[in-house]
Structure 1
C-alpha cells in the first residue's frame, strides 16, 4: 500500500544519471560554507551559489519555487537560516557575525535530475557547548537515518532512527516538515517524518531516492513564519540546526548521492 502516493523507483542507469546532480549540490555547499565567514552577507552567499549554477548550466530548484506555504516565489537559489531560523531561510541583507549558527540548504537540477542537501555550522568556528550538542545531534540523527535506509526495511525505520537520537539527547521533534522523495522534481513522495515507528510505512526498495533531513530546535518543537513569508523560526527564539542528504536505496544498502569531501 502506498496510500495513493506516486512513488517512482529508479533503475541502476537512472541512479548513475543522478550522480552529477549530487556532486554539484555537494560542491556548492562546500563553496558556500567556505564563504560563510564573519562579515559575509547572506546575499553574497546566494550570489555565489547563483554563479555556480550558471557556470554548471544547472537549474535552481528554489528561485521559482512557490508552494502553498510560501508567500511568493522564493526568488533566491539557496536557503540561509541563521540562529533561530531553522528552515527556508530567505537570503536578505544581513552580515554574518562570529558565533552565528548558520544552516545552508541547497537543491539543484542537473541534466533533468535533482539533488538536495543541507549543512549546519557555527560561523567563525567557535561553538558553544549548546551549539556543539545541537549540531552533533542532528548530524548523528542523519547518520542513523541513512544507516537505517536498507533494502527490505520500511520508511518508519528511518524515522524511528532519527527520532530515537533526538529524544535521547533531550530534544522534541516537529513533524510538520521532513524528508521527501527526490527525482526529476525537488519534492515528491514519500514524505519522510523525523520521528516514527520502525517496521511501519512504505517498503524501502532498491531504486527509491529520498532526502533525509533531520532538523531540531533547542527549546521547542513549535515554529512560526517570519514576516518575509518564508523563513521558519523557532517559537521561543532558541537556536536551530538542519542537515540533509539525498540518499538512494540500492541492493547493497544506502548510497549518499550528495556526499561532501
Structure 2
C-alpha cells in the first residue's frame, strides 16, 4: 500500500513537471510572437525615421518639393509609435520615453533646424530605437539560446540593423551633397568612413548570417543582391561624390541608389523574420 502511494505521488510530480514545462513553453511562445510583432513595428519605425532624415537633408538643403513626402513618413512614424506605445511603456532605462519626447520636439511645427543638426538629432533617435529593438529581442526570448536552429540570430538584431543604418546615414549625407552640388571636406570624411563600414558589411557581416537548411538558396540570392547593390552605392559615393570635380548626380538618383541598398538589407531581415516564425 505504501509503495502504491509512493508511485502515485511520483506520477503526480512527473505530471506537474510536464504541465509546468508545457505552460512555460506556451508562455514563451506567446512572448516570442509578441516580440516579433513589436520588432516588426520597431523596424518599420526605424525605416520611417531614416527616410525622414534623408528627405530632410534634401529639404533643408533647398529642395522644397520634399515637404509632402516628409509629411507622409512623419505620419507613418506616428502610426508606428501609436501602435508600440502600449507595449514599450514598461521599457527599462526610459529609452522609449526618451525617443517619443525627442521625436516630438524635433518635429514641432516651425522647427527650423539646419541640415547638420537635423541629421545628428535623427541619428541619435535611430540609435535609441536600435537599442530598443535589441532589448526587445533579448527579453522576448528571440535569441540564440531560445532559437537553437538560428544560432546567428543575434547578428540580425545587432549587425544587420546597424548595417542598414550605415547605408541610411550615407543616404542622408549624400542626398545633401547632391542637392547643394557641393561636397565639403567634412562630407568627404563622413562618406569615406561610411564607405569603409560598407566594405565591412560585405566582408564581415553578411557572410556570418545563416539560414535554415530549407531556406539556403533564397538566403544566398538575397545576400548576392545585397552585395551587388551596396557595391553599386559605394562606387557612386567614390566617383560621383568624393572624387568628383563637379557633382552631377541628382539627389533623386542618389536617393534611389541608397534606398535600393537599404531595401536589399531589409529583404534579408524580412526573410530572417519568416524563418523565426517557422521555428517558434
Which one has a larger percent helix, Structure 1 or Structure 2?
2
Q: Compute the TM-score of the two structures, normalised by the length of structure 1.
A: 0.32
Which one has a larger percent strand, Structure 1 or Structure 2?
1
Bigger Rg, which one? 2
Q: Compute the TM-score of the two structures, normalised by the length of structure 2.
A: 0.31
